[in-house]
A and B are shown apart, each in its own frame.
Chain A
């Protein structure tokens, strides 16, 4: 197992290299530069700024410099927020985004699994149809509709939650964003769980367990769940990577100072280092979570062996 993990981490290096290279050159092919938009910047000052950040060097040299810095764990300064390095920006925003994303993920996994199991146990009955209807709604309504509707209902009409803001991480401020992030994921998990649970309940060992007179609870939770959980495990990898790296929509609507907005803002302002930093962080999250998921497979399903 340890050797498998090490091998996977080694193969991640070329993948990361390809992603970094493509992102770097794609970004530079785009017209404009980080200091083009500021009006009133005299040509001399702009030239000085560009010289200071090495933007006048040949592109390949800049790439080599960037890679060298990256290997030393230095993401470089942000061009548009000159008081901060990219590392500092992430140190500030990432914990916030991760908190929200992780809460949403846990909520989605728990609630989605429960709903999916309820649907599977009541197949083609009222409970099933209710869950399917909820799941359809959850996966159809886009986030940028859910978020303002939550603000409208809970924030303005019933005055239960603040409309937005981070409030230094107060619980009440997290409810709205977490709900918005979780709803579409709950829908997906419930659908996956329903399908795999129906299949799992039909298998031989479940019939045996029932024949042995085990209680419904024990049959479902101890035996059927273990077989049904694999699709959920493989869903968790990409979902975790996406949720933990922040959502532009949710963070914009609820005014949350996370990392979700960095990517869009940075790309539009040609803040090259911040864009690259975001790409690298997202790529690392994706690689790590896919690895965790593959390891989890072996834990959940003893038939899976990595040697």
Chain B
């Protein structure tokens, strides 16, 4: 959910939107926002499952330190989504374990 209005910060300014896909599903994201923020705005909170126990992981530090929010982006695994901005057409996948490197091109 987005914080559309705020008593201190005011109204959320309009921004151009881009399209990303998450596990094949198309989503709209604000241009330049972090992948994680776009996902949270769309109610997605699981970013990956751990390798051994397949436990879900999501946002923990939000500033690129903890690596809990890593996902596979454009075929590249272990991308910290809280500090990686969206780009139009980005393919994002919930990551299983350590992920697999794939050449998308």
Q: Do A and B actually bind?
A: no
